[in-house]
Structure 1
Amino acid sequence: MLDYIVVGLGLSGLAISEGLINRKKSFLVFEDNSQSSSYVAGGIFNPVILKRFTPAWNAAEQMETALPFYRNLEQKLRVKLVHEWNIYRRFHSVEEQNDWFIALDKPKLSSFLDPEIQKNTNPNLKAEYSLGKVLKTGNVDTVKLLDNYRDYLNEKGHFENEHFDYSTLELNQGYIQYGDIQAKNIIFCEGFGLKKNPFFNYLPLRGNKGEYIVIHSEELQLDFAVKASVFIMPLGNDLYKVGATYDNKDKTPGVTAGSREKLVKELQKLIRCDFRVVDQVAGIRPAVSDRKPLVGTHPEISNMYCCNGFGSRGVLIAPNMAEALLKNIESDNSLHPEIDLQRFTKKHFKIN
């Protein structure tokens, strides 16, 4: 009998899997490639919400856990995953410059914001009011991470590339039966796919569709990321990722011409040089109504769990939430009320 079945191998399923390996637990992951948000994510780790100059939720704590987590995976998988570079926030006015200095006085932000305003030296970047430099930022190559980790799990016999059929899951006293597989516990890490999960679809998960484009420009010559109305992230070889859109109504998985046009239009407001779009990608972020994760135990099934709802900051949040859930299951540590999915039980769950 296995200790765990894990459903989904995005950032959440990966972090859960790594936690189980560290605890020497037996498990099997089911993944059918139906959810793409972890793959299309920018993978950016940034502790500051740059629209309002406010700290992201639990950002400092998440940074302390997440970066060592991905560094360890670099060593294990023998691939480069973590790239450190600076994000520059383009100021739109003198008032925004003043807001930056006000934010510097906030204890949760002071270590992440450079007090010196940066003059723009790139002739192809429009930044009349200069730039603010965010410290301790960069990105994790989520595509390389997930592809390599999948191969790793497959080699270890922990991976099944198939659709998980909820209808064949049998709940027994003390264990779960799925086909010929028996497991003591099951954890669902399906991202927006949770909406189709009959055990957890009562939870208020709201998908936000995000699209980005990849452009090629030999003239731009940008060696740092810029946040304005859109985000520009250098990829190397004169390629840049530009995004992302936010749409909480469209739940279709494919890219749209409207989003492409919107991103191109916003980019033209930010740069002066020619470029061409070479790719476009879309994914649905699993966001929650109160913008906090969904972690914890099913209200009626004591060995069934959920680890989900990370929104657009999954790279930072996933390692922390996975560890919190596994400590809750294995060591009976309490979950913080902010993340515990039981906060929605009374209002949303109908007792059978």
Structure 2
Amino acid sequence: MKEVDYIIVGCGLASISFCEQLKANNKTFVVFNDDSQKSSIVAAGLYNPVVLKRFSEVWKAKEQLALALPLYSKIESELNIKIDYKLRILRRFTSIGEQNKWFTASDKPSLESYLSLQLIKNDNPEIDAPYGFGEVLHAGRLDTEMLITSYKNRLKKDNSLEERSFIHNNIQFKDDAIHYENLKAEQIVFAEGFGVKHNPYFNTIPLTGSKGEILTIKAPDLKIDYAIKSSVFIIPLGDDLYNVGSTYNNDDKSNTPTESAKAELISKLKTFIKCDFQVVNHVAGVRPTVKDRRPLVGRHIKHNNLYVLNGLGTRGVMIAPYVANMLFNFIENNEILDAEIDVNRFK
């Protein structure tokens, strides 16, 4: 029987961030992943410290960026990949009133380092933006697909990845340890995203789930190297390719792309993009969202060696390293878990 400190179920942003905590503290682990969850893979990958709909600060933005950016830089170096792309994000204004709200928000101490005071005029004939843009600072894009694919390859090389489904009913609790098939572990961390709904130990946590769909378009005449947030995001990928997203559907819990979402994204994109474009890809995934927009982290109410790391919603790139750090310190160092993210806060 192989002995490890941790079994981790799932291999998305949350799982990878927790793996990095374990590696940094010389803990052994095995990751189970069956590729059933797609939210991390299909994510647009933007990290940005501002809620651009309301011009307000993202929850714990400063603390999250302080952990996330060094972690992704470390992974880039160790895996010899490029995943973190510094990227200008321009918020398209639809009126003078929105301009005024932007500059009012930029005076707030929590936002002054994130919102540029310069009004950016549009000089691109293929974009309709008569009121110009505001620029978000300290933002970028993480190539989540490259991250997850490369990280899984490293786990395979280290014999730390089981590419199959985890059968929850096969868990056996023996003498303060967990036996699972040929493994003996001290703890299990479930980082399954919306797949936690099939987990009998945590399937009652208040995870609502929101399906998101993203298009990739080819637009040779657009020629922008910055992201635009308007009714939808448009994000440059290089080679005249752009991601366009995203939709929000709280009823459909499948990973199947739909024609209705495609039509919605195209319609919204055409409200501010004038040039022709071609849709070259269309993907979908269910985000693990929570009604109070806070993660779900913590210990099972009965089994002291079962933990959940979930509910990252639409901002997993920023949140994952932050909550992984908090969960590790909760388990290993007996640090108090922030009440805002404690999975048991709804009980």
Please state which band the TM-score falls in when normalised by the shorter chain. over 0.9
Residues 312-351 of structure 1 aligned to structure 2 (within 5 Å): 312-344=314-346, 346=347
Unaligned runs of 5+ in 1: 347-352
- 2:98 corresponds to which of 96, 100, 124: 96
Kindly provide the amino acid, as one letter, of the partner of residue 122 in structure 2.
N
Which residue matches 1:234? 236
Which residue matches 2:214? 212
- 2:157 corresponds to which of 155, 158, 162: 155
- Deviations along 1:254-302, one digit per CA (max 9) or x if unpaired, are 0000000010111111111111111101010001111100111000100
Is 1:256 equivalent to 2:254 in the alignment?
no
Which residue matches 1:60? 62
Which residue matches 2:196? 194
Q: Following TM superposition, by how much is the alpha carbon of 1:182 offset from its aligned partner in structure 2, in angstroms?
A: 0.9
Q: Following TM superposition, by how much is the alpha carbon of 1:172 offset from its aligned partner in structure 2, in angstroms?
A: 2.1
Which residue matches 1:276? 278
- 2:299 corresponds to which of 297, 300, 303: 297
SS at match of 1:288: coil
Q: Give me the whole-angstrom Cα distance separating, in 2, the residues matched to 1:169 and 1:275.
A: 51
Q: Give me the whole-angstrom Cα distance separating, in 2, the residues matched to 1:329 and 1:241.
A: 38
SS at match of 1:205: coil
Q: Name the TM-score, length of structure 1 as normaliser.
A: 0.97
Q: Give me the whole-angstrom Cα distance separating, in 2, the residues matched to 1:189 and 1:89.
A: 33
Q: Following TM superposition, by how much is the alpha carbon of 1:42 offset from its aligned partner in structure 2, in angstroms?
A: 1.0
Q: Give me the whole-angstrom Cα distance separating, in 1, the residues matched to 2:4 and 2:102.
A: 52
SS at match of 1:24: coil
- Deviations along 1:166-210, one digit per CA (max 9) or x if unpaired, are 111112231111112111110000000011110001110011000
Which residue matches 1:44? 46
Kindly provide the amino acid, as one letter, of the partner of residue 47 in structure 1.
P
Q: Give me the whole-angstrom Cα distance separating, in 2, the residues matched to 1:97 and 1:155.
A: 52
Which residue matches 1:349? none
Is 1:18 equivalent to 2:20 in the alignment?
yes
The sequence identity of aligned pairs, in percent, is 46
Q: Give me the whole-angstrom Cα distance separating, in 1, the residues matched to 2:257 and 2:263.
A: 11
- Deviations along 1:230-277, one digit per CA (max 9) or x if unpaired, are 000001000010010011111111000000001011111111111111
Q: Name the TM-score, length of structure 2 as normaliser.
A: 0.98
Kindly provide the amino acid, as one letter, of the partner of residue 94 in structure 2.
H
Which residue matches 2:89? 87
Root-mean-square deviation (CA, aligned residues, Å) is 0.7
Which residue matches 1:267? 269
Q: Give me the whole-angstrom Cα distance separating, in 2, the residues matched to 1:67 and 1:181.
A: 34
Q: Give me the whole-angstrom Cα distance separating, in 2, the residues matched to 1:26 and 1:277.
A: 44
